[in-house]
Amino acid sequence: MISLPRKRTAAGLAALALLTLTVACEGDTALGPIDGARCVAGQLRADAAPSGRLDAASCQLWSSYMYNVVPTATWTLEADANTAHIVRLIPTDTGAGATPLRASLVAYARDGRNEVQLLGGDAFSFGTAQRNREIALTATEPTTFALRVEAWSPTDSGSYRLELSSCPLRRLTLDSTVTGIGSNTGCTARGMHGGARSRVSFLTFDVDELGEYAVGFRRSAGTGSVTGRLAGYGAAVSQTREADFLRSQPNVTTNYVFTRNLTRLGRATLLLSVHADSGATVEAYAGRGVPTIVATPH
């Protein structure tokens, strides 16, 4: 996983998130935008690719990742229940002699008590100097996400555009196999395969007791490359955090299964990214026992 520069500890992030809220929402009501109305640049929609610019005239807010006051712009995303979303930040100053914007995406949302939660920063990056950034989000209930574009330093500036791809958050019943996953389903992504386009399916399952879980996948048709990642768990909304990484190679029909000791109750999410074959299909499994896909013939 590509980490943001100067990332702090979990305790430090929680304290700084509270400071960010205090600075940003001064004068706003408790139900107002997370970063204050003056800092909201607009709303993200799947049918548009909005653009913006960060510079000295932008909202100047404390960054819990950069540990500094930096130029920012906040975009809201209204997510329906049981949906997944990939948001991409693309610097657009790419002409001769131009310096592309150095910036990251950071996600916030309110919990059931209307308190702001820092969900995390972009998990994937690609392109020249890794300046294209991508974040993946899931919502098990209607949620308003605040996606903040943050410059890496007080002096960084430049233009950018945002791209949004949304898809269903599918339910994965424990000890059973899910089919219908492929390169024509899921959200469009670029960060999981080094900039190449892929389709990512999001599958969520309940962690109803603590202990070891088996999670895996099998390419059932085609020759495309498949990447699997286990995301953060234990919250109604969560930014994906890579816990395990598995990748199948083209033309290799192998079952990929890993076990992980899950220590928090709630929901976990499996991301499956399919690349390079329009006919590839995948089966997925999560459970407490021996994976059923291991016994499935190639």
- 42 lies in a domain? yes
Between CA 246 and CA 227 the distance in angstroms is: 6
- The answer to whether residue 243 is domain-embedded is yes
Question: Would residue 289 count as lying in a domain?
Answer: yes
Cα separation, 284 vs 228, in Å, equals 10
180 and 218 both lie in a single domain: yes
Question: Could you say which of 134, 166, 198 is where a domain stops?
Answer: 166
Q: Which residue, of 109, 137, 166, is where some domain finishes? A: 166
* Within a domain: 1: no
- SS3 sequence of the chain: CCCCCCCCCHHHHHHHHHHHHHHHCCCCCCCCCCCCHHHEEEECCCCCCCEEEECCCCEEEEECCCCEEEEEEEEEEEECCCEEEEEEEEECCCCCCCCCCCEEEEEEEECCCCCEEEEEECCEEECHHHCEEEEEEEECCCEEEEEEEEECCCCCCEEEEEEEEEEEEEECCCCEEEEEEECCCCEEECHHHCCCCEEEEEEEEEECCCEEEEEEEEEEECCCEEEEEECCCCCCEEECCCCCEEEECCCCCCEEEEEEEECCCEEEEEEEEEECCCCCEEEEEEECCCCHHHHCCC
The answer to whether 136 and 83 are in contact (CB under 8 A) is no
Same domain, 202 and 158: no
Residues 181 and 262 in one domain: yes
What is residue 13's predicted lDDT score, i.e. its pLDDT? 29
Q: Are residues 160 and 192 in the same domain?
A: no
Query: Would you say residue 231 lies in a domain?
Result: yes
pLDDT string in tens for the chain (298-residue length): 333 343 333 333 232 232 333 233 333 333 456 777 889 999 998 878 999 999 999 999 998 888 899 999 999 999 999 999 999 999 998 777 888 999 999 988 887 788 888 887 777 778 877 789 998 888 888 989 999 999 999 999 999 999 999 999 998 888 888 888 887 888 998 887 778 888 888 988 888 888 788 887 877 777 777 777 776 543 333 444 444 445 554 444 566 777 777 777 777 888 888 876 667 788 888 887 665 554 443 3
Query: Can you give the pLDDT at residue 276?
Result: 62
Residue position matching structure tokens 């709630």:
266
Asked if the structure places residue 254 within a domain, the reply is: yes
Residue 116 identity (one-letter amino acid): V
Residues paired with 281 in a beta bridge: 182, 221
- How many domains are contained in the chain? 2
Please report where in the chains the tokens 């950018």 appear, as a residue: 160
Domain containing residue 94: 10-166
Same domain, 162 and 180: no
Residues 105 and 182 in one domain: no
Q: Model's pTM, two decimal places?
A: 0.78
Residue 260 within any structural domain of the chain: yes
Residue 275 contacts residue 196 (beta carbons within 8 Å): yes
Tokens 């930096």 appear where?
A: 70
The Cα 99–Cα 92 span in angstroms is 9
Does 177 lie in the same domain as 287? yes
State which of 147, 166, 185 marks the end of a domain.
Answer: 166
- Measured between alpha carbons, how far is 21 from 104 in angstroms, rounded to an integer? 18
Q: Are residues 114 and 183 in the same domain?
A: no
Same domain, yes or no, for 222 and 159? no
